[in-house]
Chain A
Amino acid sequence: MTLLARDPRAPFTLTPPIATRERSLRGYDLPLLGAALALSLIGAVLVWAATRDTQQAAGLNPQAYLYRHLINMVVAAGLMFGASRIDARLLRLFGPIVYLASLFGLLLVMVAGTTINGAHAWIRLGAGVEIQPAEFAKLGLVVGMAVLFTRHLGEREEDQSPTTREILAALGLIAVPFVLIMLQPDLGSAMVLGCAAFGVLVAAGVRARWTVGLLVAGALAAVLAVKAGVLQTYQLERLGSFIHPNHDPLGASYNINQAHIAIANGGLFGTGLFHGPQTNGGYVPEQQTDFVFSVAGEEFGLVGGALIIALFGFLCWRGLRIAREADAAGRLVAVGVVCWFAFQAFQNIGMNLGLTPVTGVPLPFVSYGGSSMFAQGLAIGLLEAVRRRSTAP
């Protein structure tokens, strides 16, 4: 109950911002947590189903991926809890740190990264642990932008549109990680980053001429990128195979076709867990990561697939509710996170269904993969922190 804490512009203080009495579940949005947990548990089962047969065929532990997914979940839960305990009012303090740290990670990838599936996107920490800094960059950018737009809130009306200067600064904030990720090159992560940033811009009240203008500019840039050969061959192949799924059935189109077969195979109720021939046969490459949705589609059918989509819808709804209730900075963070999850889920499921190009983004919570799980855990924690702040007595 200090003046420092009250004033959003107050300088950093060493006083612990979290009081003991607040160590309770009060203020947490439990449905949001539940949705994230449900998606992660579904993910555990799907990852298991996707890997057990091929692991067994290779003479490896069929449960290895399941266990690692569960461990990732535990770590992510810890990160989430930690993040949720942060006083959302201190965003201004840690926002720039998070942003700069994520940029540092991206730069580190440039220097010491490992190439997996054509993208130079991983930092190998040893002992089989690899970190994908782009996942954390999404979080860093959202938080960084939220701080930028709410820096001078006290000096103007809240629903005032951001100034041109702020918008240009925000575009600068976006551009640095975006370019670094494109250089990896990781088109999918860059697109997700762009969408999350776009959501923040919209929520910040940037005028329509800016947002529409940015969309048009983005589209033009994309066309130019294809024409000028900025995109890598494999990216163009993936894009091409999205448009012509059968043009190269053994190459770039293979993933799409196999995932499509798996999902179509599911029908209404699916083949049942562990009974999907397409999944068990190991036909869908990257099935535990980018194509994990195809496991759900095959083994749980329309019911399972719809449940996952619905859980994402629910999660986004809870996130947007938090945004609505939150103060300006919290709202921007919440919208950014929701846009991130929503677009990434759309992009991933869409690519499983042949709707969107194959760009290699994981399905949040569900896909196997430590970095994305940790970043998402932090993001949920942040949402909870915002929520706790706005519901605090």
Chain B
Amino acid sequence: MASPRVPARRPPTPRRLVIIVALVVSMMLTLFARLYYVQLLDPNKPVQTAHLLHDGAIVLPAPRGLILDATGRPLVANRIAHVVTVDRDLLQRRADKGRAVLHRLGALLHQPAQQLAAEITPCAPHVPAPCSTAEPYAPVVVAKRVPMSVVLAISEHREQFPGVSVNTVTLPTYPGGTLAAHVLGYTSQITAADQKQDPRLTDADTIGVTGLEQEYDAALRGVDGKQLVELNPQGYTVRFGRRIPPSQGDTLVTSIDARLQRLAQKSIVQQIHDSRQAGEPATSAAVVAMDPQTGRILAAASYPTYRPAQFIGGISNADYAKLMAPSANDPLLDRAIAGQYAPGSTFKLITSSSLVMHHEINTHTLYPCPGSVSIDGRVKTNYDSEVLGPITLRDALGYSCDTFFYVPAANEYYADQARIAHHKPPHEWLQKMAAQYGVGKRPGVDLPTAEQATGSYADRETRMARWKANRKIYCAEARRGYPDVKDAAERAYLTELASENCTDGWRYRAGDNADMSIGQGETTMSPLQLAVAYSALVNGGRIWEPKLGWAVVDGQGHVVKRIDPTVRNRVPVRQSLFDYITSALDFSRGWAVSGAFAYLDSPYQNRIGGKTGTAEVYGHKDTSWLATWGPTYKNKHGHTRAKLVLVGMVEQAGTGATAAGPMLKRIWDGIFGVGQKPVLPGQHAPRRLPHVDPQVQVTR
């Protein structure tokens, strides 16, 4: 019976199945053994490190240190500002990804919600700007310096603004507005280049980019704090960890006297106004006040100026464009320290020093002061071609006779040429004396080197070098003849100049030396350099490397660093000559001293002295200078000393006596308390460091 439904032939148990069974069994056993090992035996079990909450840190930027004046008044202070931050984490976890919240916040801040959304999106290769450069888990600041109404709106309706918080930050504030803006400098947000230089800097930091803010940035910046956070693997903040509070930067005490500085700035503004009223362009001006005995700078004012506050949190493009506009006349330039101008007759201090010390003239002989002299066939005149007849150096300084100095300067030149003819090096005494007084060198003030003018003068060597470097340009310009210049006379002048430079530009002439003797030609100095030079006159010949900083004080009020000016050198001038010059230029001589004109009948007329300068600048009105010192006193050896040196400069404003004179007089009035409370008690610089209160830690 072979019913097909009955398995007809049961196949013999196939031997081959045994192989399969063996394979299957061995595979299962292998798996089990491995599983057993991995889960129970393995002595080095791998551990998930990522699932442990990892640490992140939110930078708490340190408030920058304060900058104080010599009496402890704040020049740069800190203030609390409210910022609105958005926690993107929290918004993302909401059903609508926080759209509603951003919408409400946008309405409050008058910003489109889309813009807010873009600002809080972490930057990534495909995320367009604006985007957030902060750590992805850190709350993003969407509005700075928000008004109280916004703060209240957000705090009172917290339920409407989940993930939005109002924080306080410290921002610098400048109580004096433009006060000492140029020396203080400004700060800016950290750039990638800054971070490259110092990897400890974070995006939240600000950095001083000019002035004292830059020079003392390391001390002022402080140490950022950290809010440690624990993050889950998705990068959400789970827990706040330790908070390392930021420590504020150290305080910089400067020798700037805020009241004197303010007075100087006010006086400059007044003078600019007055000079313009008188029809002069009066484009810019500067004042430097320093203590000749200590080398400390009490005031350094420059016009036009700017408000450093504009740079807080990044200057707006509109503001920056305004600052950079030609009509603004470069308000960021510190004319007092970084600007250099022909010093005119104020340079005669240096010329007199050189001529007398090298016996080219003496202090008691009468020398001519004609209306004009001819040097190498060129006629050089006095100011207004004034003729004074034979006079001594005393009167030559007082009346500011130029021709008096031309002749010995030219003679010095001829003597040097004779030495050269005899293959001897020229003495160039005038140049050497100028260098001794600091002309041509950075003054060594505690500011970034780019903000310190060196001044300049001409000599044979530099002229030759410059001619070699530029001859081709001069000659090409002489050939072309300045076709772009419209004015025919100017075109002719420029072409002649270029032609002369092309052929004879290497030649240092007698006229050049004569020009230098009265601070003209290629001679330039910054107001600060002139103040340093006149300080030497009333301090026994010491050339200071002046300083603005006085001390760095830490948060506990301890002085961590004292900043003292150093004496760079002593000018090789006898004290008796200094006394001769100070007496020659003392304002008590009245009409006999040109600088005294503005000070006649002032109660302190016989306590100060000064030298005017009226520098001619080709194509411009004269630069008005006045270098003054006072109040004078005799030291124990009977030598004349002064407590202060004040130098003023007004560009394109006429003679020293008419512009710089009245400008400085208003400051001296304040110092001596004429019709007001004296700004400097005792008419001298503050002598003791002010007490600096321990900082109150700003918490947020």
Q: Does B45 interact with chain A (Cβ within 8 Å)?
A: yes
A320–B40 CB distance below 8 A: no
Residues of chain B within 8 A of A194, CB atoms compared: none
B24–A320 CB distance below 8 A: yes
B28–A331 CB distance below 8 A: no
Task: Give the B interface residue count (CB, 8 A).
Answer: 39
Q: Does A16 interact with chain B (Cβ within 8 Å)?
A: no
From B6, B30, B51, contact of A393 by CB (8 A): B6
B40 to chain A, nearest CB (A): 6
From B19, B50, B51, contact of A202 by CB (8 A): B19
A199–B35 CB distance below 8 A: no
Residues of chain A within 8 A of B30, CB atoms compared: 346, 350, 355
Binds A, one of B9-17, B311-319, B335-343, B431-439: B9-17
Q: Does B326 interact with chain A (Cβ within 8 Å)?
A: no
From B6, B25, B35, contact of A263 by CB (8 A): B35
From A262, A302, A325, A392, contact of B35 by CB (8 A): A302
Which chain B residue has the least Cβ–Cβ distance from A59? B95
Q: Does A327 interact with chain B (Cβ within 8 Å)?
A: yes
Residues of chain A within 8 A of B5, CB atoms compared: 1, 392-393
Given contacts A309-B32, A355-B34, A257 and B46 within 8 Å (CB-CB):
yes
How many angstroms between the C-alpha atoms of A331 and B12 in the bound complex?
Answer: 12
B31–A320 CB distance below 8 A: no
B-contacting residues, A50-70, CB 8 Å: 57, 59
Residues of chain B within 8 A of A202, CB atoms compared: 16, 19-20
B34–A327 CB distance below 8 A: no
Task: Give the A interface residue count (CB, 8 A).
Answer: 63
A302–B27 CB distance below 8 A: no
Given contacts A302-B35, A316-B24, A203 and B46 within 8 Å (CB-CB):
no
Q: Does B277 interact with chain A (Cβ within 8 Å)?
A: no
Residues of chain A within 8 A of B31, CB atoms compared: 309, 345-346, 349-350, 353, 355
Residues of chain B within 8 A of A349, CB atoms compared: 31, 35
Q: Does B233 interact with chain A (Cβ within 8 Å)?
A: yes
How many angstroms between the C-alpha atoms of A75 and B23 in the bound complex?
Answer: 31
B24–A301 CB distance below 8 A: no
Binds B, one of A119-127, A173-181, A213-221, A274-282: A274-282
B17–A323 CB distance below 8 A: yes
Given contacts A281-B48, A281-B50, A282-B233, A263 and B39 within 8 Å (CB-CB):
yes
B46–A264 CB distance below 8 A: yes
How many angstroms between the C-alpha atoms of A261 and B44 in the bound complex?
Answer: 11
Q: Does A266 interact with chain B (Cβ within 8 Å)?
A: yes
A350–B34 CB distance below 8 A: yes
B9–A158 CB distance below 8 A: yes
B16–A203 CB distance below 8 A: yes
B6–A309 CB distance below 8 A: no
Q: Does B42 interact with chain A (Cβ within 8 Å)?
A: yes
How many angstroms between the C-alpha atoms of A339 and B23 in the bound complex?
Answer: 9
B-contacting residues, A218-272, CB 8 Å: 257-258, 260-268
Given contacts A264-B39, A278-B51, A306-B35, A5 and B24 within 8 Å (CB-CB):
no
A158–B38 CB distance below 8 A: no
Per-residue CB contact flags for chain A residues 174-217 toward chain B (1 = under 8 Å, else 0) read 00000000000000000000000001001111000000000000
B38–A353 CB distance below 8 A: yes
Residues of chain B within 8 A of A44, CB atoms compared: none
Residues of chain B within 8 A of A339, CB atoms compared: 20, 23-24
Per-residue CB contact flags for chain A residues 7-45 toward chain B (1 = under 8 Å, else 0) read 100000000000000000000000000000000000000
How many angstroms between the C-alpha atoms of A339 and B95 in the bound complex?
Answer: 49
A-contacting residues, B41-56, CB 8 Å: 42, 45-48, 50-51
Q: Does A378 interact with chain B (Cβ within 8 Å)?
A: no
Residues of chain A within 8 A of B450, CB atoms compared: none
B28–A312 CB distance below 8 A: yes
From B9, B20, B27, B42, contact of A335 by CB (8 A): B20
Q: Does B21 interact with chain A (Cβ within 8 Å)?
A: yes
Residues of chain B within 8 A of A268, CB atoms compared: 39-40
Q: Does B279 interact with chain A (Cβ within 8 Å)?
A: no
A68 to chain B, nearest CB (A): 24
How many angstroms between the C-alpha atoms of A71 and B655 in the bound complex?
Answer: 101
Residues of chain A within 8 A of B35, CB atoms compared: 263, 297, 302, 305-306, 309, 349, 353
A387 to chain B, nearest CB (A): 12
Residues of chain B within 8 A of A325, CB atoms compared: 10
How many angstroms between the C-alpha atoms of A58 and B552 in the bound complex?
Answer: 54
B46–A260 CB distance below 8 A: yes
Q: Does B377 interact with chain A (Cβ within 8 Å)?
A: no
Given contacts A5-B4, A281-B50, A305-B35, A264 and B45 within 8 Å (CB-CB):
yes
Given contacts A268-B40, A353-B34, A355-B34, A261 and B17 within 8 Å (CB-CB):
no
Which chain B residue has the least Cβ–Cβ distance from A262? B48
Q: Does B320 interact with chain A (Cβ within 8 Å)?
A: no
From B19, B27, B32, contact of A343 by CB (8 A): B27
Q: Does B234 interact with chain A (Cβ within 8 Å)?
A: yes
A283–B20 CB distance below 8 A: no
Q: Does B36 interact with chain A (Cβ within 8 Å)?
A: yes
A281–B46 CB distance below 8 A: no
How many angstroms between the C-alpha atoms of A279 and B21 in the bound complex?
Answer: 34
Q: Of residues B20, B21, B32, which shows the largest number of chain A Cβ atoms within 10 Å of its Cβ? A: B20
A-contacting residues, B74-94, CB 8 Å: none
How many angstroms between the C-alpha atoms of A261 and B31 in the bound complex?
Answer: 17
A-contacting residues, B319-377, CB 8 Å: none
From B11, B20, B23, B39, contact of A327 by CB (8 A): B11
A199–B20 CB distance below 8 A: yes
Which chain B residue has the least Cβ–Cβ distance from A205? B16
How many angstroms between the C-alpha atoms of A354 and B31 in the bound complex?
Answer: 10
Q: Does B483 interact with chain A (Cβ within 8 Å)?
A: no
A327–B7 CB distance below 8 A: yes
A203–B39 CB distance below 8 A: no
Q: Does A141 interact with chain B (Cβ within 8 Å)?
A: no
How many angstroms between the C-alpha atoms of A205 and B11 in the bound complex?
Answer: 13
How many angstroms between the C-alpha atoms of A354 and B46 in the bound complex?
Answer: 12
Q: Does A371 interact with chain B (Cβ within 8 Å)?
A: no
Residues of chain B within 8 A of A285, CB atoms compared: none
B612 to chain A, nearest CB (A): 76
Given A281-B48, A281-B233, output 4 extra A-B contacts at Cβ < 8 Å.
A282-B233, A317-B24, A327-B11, A392-B5
Between A and B, 12 residue pairs with Cβ closer than 8 Å are A158-B11, A260-B38, A265-B45, A309-B31, A312-B28, A320-B20, A324-B17, A325-B10, A342-B23, A342-B24, A346-B27, A355-B31
| Nearest 9 pairs of A and B residues by beta carbon | A6-B4, A346-B27, A264-B45, A313-B28, A342-B24, A353-B34, A302-B39, A261-B46, A316-B24
Residues of B within 8 A of A (CB): 4-7, 9-14, 16-17, 19-21, 23-25, 27-28, 30-32, 34-36, 38-40, 42, 45-48, 50-51, 95, 233-234
